[in-house]
Structure formats: structure tokens, C-alpha cells
Structure 1
Amino acid sequence: MQFIEMQAKARAVRAKYTELESARYGRSWTPEETMLGFLGDVGDLAKLVQGKAGVRPRDDLDAALAHELADCLWSVIVLADTYDVDLESAFDDTMRALSEHLDGSREAP
């Protein structure tokens, strides 16, 4: 799947959440509430990573880990949309800069 397709799917799910939130609360979540939801997902992800280390085992660990990683990615895509960040370009630029930095750090004593 191409990144643009992932963005389209994330936007479609966000639109469905907007409808649900509007029906339940009379408004959509704010960006701050979306971020707090993301933090909750990161906490859930941390517990699953502990599970992979044997600290919090569960029967469906691999499926739960995949699900939570996808939830976190969805939140990042939604937050990028909220703040008009071209995530694909930002990722490419950041990975290039990190790679150059790491290449340079190998040359230093």
C-alpha cells in the first residue's frame, strides 16, 4: 500500500470518528484530545512491548502489537493532517538528516 492510500484510509476513519463524536458530545475532538488519545495508545503499546519481553504475556500478543502500532500510526497521520504537515516529505527529510548525521559520527573519534 502506498502512503497516500494510508492517508486516505486514515482520513476516512477520522471522518467517521468526527460523526460519532458529534453525535455523542455535540462536537469533534480537539487536536489536544486527539493527542491525549495518542498518548493512551502509546501507553498501550508500551505494555505490549513489555509483553514481547516476557513481562506482560498474553495469548494474542502479536496481533495486539500489530493493532496498536497501526493505531499509533493512524494518530500520527491524523495529527500531521491537523497541523498541515507533509508527513511523507518530513519523514524523508528527517531520515536523510539522521543518516547523514550518523554517517558523520562514524568518522569522528
Structure 2
Amino acid sequence: MQARARAVRAQYAALEQERYGREWTPEEIMLGFLGDVGDLAKLVQGKAGVRPRAGLDDALAHELADCLWSVLTLADCYGVDLAAAFDRTMDDLTAHLEGLGHAWPTD
């Protein structure tokens, strides 16, 4: 996924260079991500019946993927090994939950 996200980011960077004379900064990418999260929130409301719309499941899948792309892109901007960070974080969360006295499935 990371390689594909980089390739799409490179295409956007070329378009931004053409349109604006420069690539978007990580801060601008983050602002775009915030807009996507807002769109995702509306779709989640739609799944709860609050904001119904046609094509809801496809739109939700698209927006989740769009948000994931932004996270992958931001991780790349800041040199974060997201796979390693994810594993460490899941290990930490699992240890925390086990410390609460619960045995949870690891799948």
C-alpha cells in the first residue's frame, strides 16, 4: 500500500507543481485529510440512518481508502515506518488490555 500511495502522491505533486508552481506541504496534506475525515463522519452518520444517501456503502469504502491514503502519505512525509509503528502500538494496546485483566483474541 505504501508504494501505491507514494506513486499517487507523486502524480498529485506533479499536478500541484503545474497548477500552483509548488507541491503541497505536509500541513496542506493534513488539511485535506481533515476534510476527508469530515466526509467520513457524514458517511458514518449515514450508516446509522441519520444521513442516508444513495451509494452509501461504496462512498464509505472510498472515503476510508482516501483517509488511509492520507495517513500513508503523512507517514511518508515525516519518515514514519507505519508498519512498525502499527505493530508497536498494537503490542502496547494489547499489553494494556491484558493489564486490565482481560484475555482478548489476537486475530
TM-score (norm 1): 0.92
2 CA distance for matches of 1:29 and 1:69?
22
SS at match of 2:79: coil
- Structure 1 residue runs without a partner (length 5+): 1-5
Which sections of structure 2, spanning at least 5 residues, go unmatched? 103-107
TM-aligned CA deviation for residue 20 of structure 1: 0.5
Cα distance in 2 for residues equivalent to 1:42 and 1:106: 34
Larger helix proportion, structure 1 or 2?
Answer: 1
1:12 aligns with 2:7: yes
SS in 2 for 1:12: helix
Matched, 1:98 2:98: no
**Offset of 1:56 from its aligned partner?**
0.5
Secondary structure of 1:106's match?
Answer: coil
Partner residue of 1:39 out of 17, 29, 34: 34
CA RMSD of aligned residues (A): 0.7
Deviant stretches of 4+, over 3 Å: none
Q: In 1, Cα distance between the equivalents of 2:35 and 2:101?
A: 37
Other-structure match for 1:29: 24
Q: Percent identity?
A: 75
What's the offset of the Cα at 1:106?
2.2
- The correspondence for 2:47, drawn from 46, 49, 52, is 52
Q: What's 1:88 paired with?
A: 83
Q: TM-score, normalised by structure 2?
A: 0.94
How many residue pairs align between the two structures? 102
